[in-house]
A and B are shown apart, each in its own frame.
Chain A
Amino acid sequence: MIPVCRIEDLPKGESVRVEATPPVAVFHTDDGELHAIDDTCTHQDASLSEGWLEGCLVECPLHAASFDLRTGMPTCLPARRAVRTHRVTVDDGVIHVHLAAEEGTAA
């Protein structure tokens, strides 16, 4: 479990990169949901936390692949593989990421 930041420090529509190995991107959607996925695009080498957030989709800043934050699945080319998703909780106002690997699940 990795503490990220206080919830008020990640306004809706924003994202932040967490320096885990591999790095994780945490998003706060306009609907108020929190999602975490692996930060590195499965296509090549771009940081998804720098991407364009729209609803629960994020568009990669390099070649515009788009991923569903809920499932990690790509919704269009050029990405063809899913990014891992990670569970997010808020404890005492602090956002935490629970790495999928640590939880022993890929979900």
Chain B
Amino acid sequence: MRTVTVVGASLSGLYAARELRAQGYDGHLVVIGDEPHHPYDRPPLSKGFLTGRADENQLALTDAEESAELDAEWMLGVRARALDARGRTVVLDDGRTVSTDGLVIATGARARRLPGDALAGVHTLRTLDDARALREELTRGPRRVVVIGGGFVGAETASSCSSLGHSVTVVEAAPLPLTPHLGTGMAAVCAALHRRGGVDLVTGTGVAGLRGTLTVSGVELTDGRTLAADLVIVGIGATPNTSWLAGSALALRDGVLCDDGCVTALPQVVAVGDVARVGGVRAEHWTSATQQPRVAVTNLLAGRTVATADAVPYFWSDQYGARIQFAGRRGEGDTVRITEGELSDGAPAEGGFLARYERNGRTTAVLAVDRPRPFMRARRELTRETAVAATGE
């Protein structure tokens, strides 16, 4: 291959560029990204960056020295608009085209939006620009903040806002937030963390609409109530950025469909990170975005699938002074057992806990709140067992 192009200049795109060089690719390397910024880390945006503990320098994923070593052509601030049917030509928004032999799709996901969210005071939180705007508004004195969506990003944002002294309400349409990730029992335990921060959690009711003429003044709920608000943060999940691939030969279904080795329908096109549906699963986790590129690049350079991605997904979340860590794939009907630590009044007690999800006597997943060391041990066991089970098949 003489030219390899990475589309998406963020976490998984940067890791793909690194892997290409690390695995000996010495041809022309092009990285295209629509954000004007060099790759930065998103997890701190809802955590330390919002509270002011971390500044922009600390978000940088790379530096000038490494950039020079990578010897890539960075095309930043320009969006890829289309990919031809053969997967050999990337068309840019400004009309330019990039011809390529290999392609890494790393376009991630964007924040899902609500109708009527163009009102001033309504925010999403996905990009550095989003976070800058929100952080700026949060420094203008105490606000009534409504966070729509109680997922991880919503909960972390609520936690950060309350620690800055704002009064915060989280609205969640489901009976409990985080149920798809954690199952009902543990979702209830983690939802109880909102109490720690003095944040109100309203569940089981959707949002009917946003109130306000120029600036948002409230959130109308489907149960008829209206919550007064000076600031609304919409945290209702993310949509994979695949629209630019519409005219290509790639199969798209809530992400770019690939096999277990991140390879798409075209052998010289791979997909990684939040945009990739790898072996039927689209993870939106930092660790998947950093691990998949190794496998994807190996397969890209080999011209076929010779390696497959890690079967034990992992993510963490920091909220209300607690660190949540989860690894594995839980299933409906798994039993959950707390094997270390305890709960107090339905919430994690001081010192946290470790819980195991089990099916037929086997651990399928582990969850920890403030128990990093036992979690690490359990996660390693799980990785080992999963590898053994995979070779036994």
Contact = CB atoms under 8 A, between A and B. Distances in A.
Interface in A11-62: 44-47, 50-52, 59, 61-62
Contacts of B48: 44-45
Contacts of A44: 44, 48
B306 interface: no
B320 interface: no
B290 interface: yes
B376 interface: yes
A51 B376 contact: yes
Contacts, number: 29
Nearest to B377: A52
B326 interface: no
Interface in B243-302: 286-287, 290
Nearest to A46: B372
Nearest to B48: A45
Chain A CB count within 10 A is highest, among B44, B373, B377, for B373
Contact of B376 (A61, A77, A78): A61
A42 B357 CA distance: 32
Interface residues on B, range: 10 to 19
Contacts of B225: none
Interface string A61-85: 1111000000000000110100000
B352 to A, nearest CB: 12
B372 A61 contact: yes
B316 A50 contact: no
A80 B66 CA distance: 10
Contact of A62 (B44, B66, B372): B372
Interface residues on A, range: 10 to 19
A32 to B, nearest CB: 21
B362 interface: no
A78 B290 contact: yes
Contacts of B63: 80
Contacts of B287: 63-64
Main SS of chain B's interface residues?
Answer: helix
B257 to A, nearest CB: 28
Given A44-B44, A45-B48, A62-B316, A50 B373 contact: yes
B28 interface: no
Nearest to A52: B376
Contacts of A52: 376-377, 380
A54 to B, nearest CB: 10
A62 B47 CA distance: 15
Interface in B175-233: none
B372 A47 contact: yes
A45 B58 CA distance: 11
B160 to A, nearest CB: 14
Contacts of A63: 286-287, 290
Contacts of A77: 18, 290
B372 A50 contact: yes
Contacts of A62: 316, 323, 372
A44 B129 CA distance: 21
Nearest 8 A/B pairs, CB to CB: A61-B372, A50-B372, A50-B373, A61-B376, A52-B376, A62-B316, A61-B373, A46-B372
25 contacts: A44-B44, A44-B48, A45-B48, A46-B372, A47-B372, A50-B372, A50-B373, A50-B376, A52-B376, A52-B377, A52-B380, A59-B376, A61-B373, A61-B375, A62-B316, A62-B323, A62-B372, A63-B286, A63-B287, A63-B290, A64-B287, A77-B290, A78-B290, A80-B63, A80-B66
